Amino acid sequence: MRIIMNQEPLGVASDIVLPNQLLRWCDSVAINFHTDYSATGEAPAHDKPPFPFDPEINHKIILWNGDISSLQVDAVVNSTNESMTESNPTSDRIFQRAGTELKEEINLDVRECRTGEVIVTQGHALPARYIIHTVGPKYNIKYQTAAENTLHYCYRNVLQKSKELGLHSLALCVINSVRRNYPPNEGAHIALRTVRRFLERYGSSIDTLIFVVDNTDFGIYEVLLPLYFPRSKMEEEASRWQLPSDVGGPDGEPLLPDRQIRIIDNPQHTLHPDEESIDLSSQIETSINIEHAFSQMQGDLDHQRLLGERPLNNTLDDIMVKEFQHQERYECLLRRARTEDLTEVSGIGCLYQSGVDRLGRPVVVFVGKWFPFNKINLEKALLYLITLLDPIVKGDYVIAYFHTLTSSSNYPSFSWLKEVYNVLPYKYKKNLKAFYVIHPTFWTKMMTWWFTTFMAPAIKQKVHSLPGVEYLYAVMSPNELEIPAFITEYDMTINGLRYFQPTLAT
């Protein structure tokens, strides 16, 4: 999004980036929704848009993928640990450019920063006047509410400190960290709504706020920004359906009393305080998977809550019967898959196993361009999916979906995706450890967000958008990845030859 200027302003180094060189959110192109959500029959999560269209606020916002240490702003934000010694790409760039004086100031005057709090230092050799340091929380599903509240206070304290110092321009990095197990998507929601609520109250104190994100987070923020900062009345109206039902309190703080009650009332938390997670399924001997029955029930309740519906008053017996019927249906499809001729689907080559990742988990590859949704026998496609994946999903596995050069004829319908997801047993969702989307487009980001929010919340935190093939090599060896030549050729045209070329599929 950086605009290249013909001449550098006088007195400014060539590698320094000024806010007026970057594209304001209000000047970016709004989404032209073709879907009339009111005609879909789906109930909106909100009676009115929680975050109205506001051109004045949008003019303050910039979304930028770049080096935060090069920005000439009043302050940049550094996400670190409590001893302020964490090594991450953002901190490393800030400390390297700021020089040794920054380390000396921290060692002599600061020394530590508690989780959720902020510490201010001079910018030293940075183009920025100040550095606002903060420590994000570690994420544990048992203490999810505490982590969400702490992350909110990180962002809120950064903004409040900027106001107290009279700063007018701020470069805000992503404070939540995958190194601390924080789901990037959930962290982005908290960041955006906290910033939005602050600007609604104290917008006059800040002229420019730059969300500085890396390649991975850029796609998430690109999708979610229109929900919290709509650029048109159309985006504002669509947000009634696309936003989660919980958009926080007056300051954007989490409001999750139902989750707090479930955590407090669960006696297992007091019996096993040091365990990351507790699996009770091994303690329950029944003819069906009770763990899935409860998870399916919870998923249904969460889905109804997101859509503003009243939960159904199902009994455990009803759920168990439904689960038994569900399992019977799958077993029937599996028997058919093993006996029917599926060569017309298997010959397409769009779905296959390709080696293992660095943890020894099988990698399933799906090539979107080779999936002829409008021409293929969808029933046989489902049978082939089942016969291929059934032996794989008995243990952990990952999926790599290549969206490279796909067209509308390759896009499956929501109804078919929902049918497939509902047919597949719980082991498919539980043992799936990661779903990588390579070469995503805006369409895939929107559809992935929608599907995982309303249809498949169990896998939402496992989906990762990757801008290139090389990003897969952090989790799997190039020699284990077998993909069509057109994918690597396309990748080289947009990302350059910066990695070892994998073995190509024949």
Mind listing the pLDDT tens digit for each residue in 264-307? 333 333 333 333 333 333 332 333 343 344 344 444 444 443 44
Lowest mean pLDDT among 45-59, 358-372, 417-431: 417-431
Question: What is the Cα–Cα distance from 299 to 306, expressed in whole angstroms?
Answer: 10
All structural domains of the chain, each given as residue ranges with its CATH number in brackets, are: 19-242 (3.40.220.10), 281-335 (no CATH), 340-495 (3.40.525.10)
16 has a pLDDT exceeding 90: yes
Position 337 scores a pLDDT of: 86
| Radius of gyration of the chain from its Cα atoms, rounded to whole angstroms | 24
Enter the pTM of the model.
0.55
- The string of pLDDT tens digits covering residues 177-190 is 878 888 888 999 99
Question: What is the Cα–Cα distance from 184 to 466, expressed in whole angstroms?
Answer: 13
Question: What is the Cα–Cα distance from 296 to 302, expressed in whole angstroms?
Answer: 10
Q: Which residue has the higher pLDDT, 497 or 228?
A: 228
Most confident of 105-119, 191-205, 404-418, 450-464: 191-205
Give every CB contact of residue 456 below 8 A, 6+ residues apart in sequence.
Answer: 421, 429
Q: HSE on the CB side for 402, CA within 13 Å?
A: 29
Decide: 77 and 173 in contact? Cβ < 8 Å.
Answer: yes
Per DSSP, 313 falls in state: -
User: Structure tokens of 138?
Assistant: 């570690």
Position 398 scores a pLDDT of: 94
Position 323 scores a pLDDT of: 61
- The string of pLDDT tens digits covering residues 6-15 is 344 445 566 8
Give every CB contact of residue 38 below 8 A, 6+ residues apart in sequence.
Answer: 44
User: Structure tokens of 184?
Assistant: 């990037």
User: Structure tokens of 451?
Assistant: 């599907």
pLDDT, averaged across the chain = 80
Question: What is the Cα–Cα distance from 305 to 457, expressed in whole angstroms?
Answer: 12
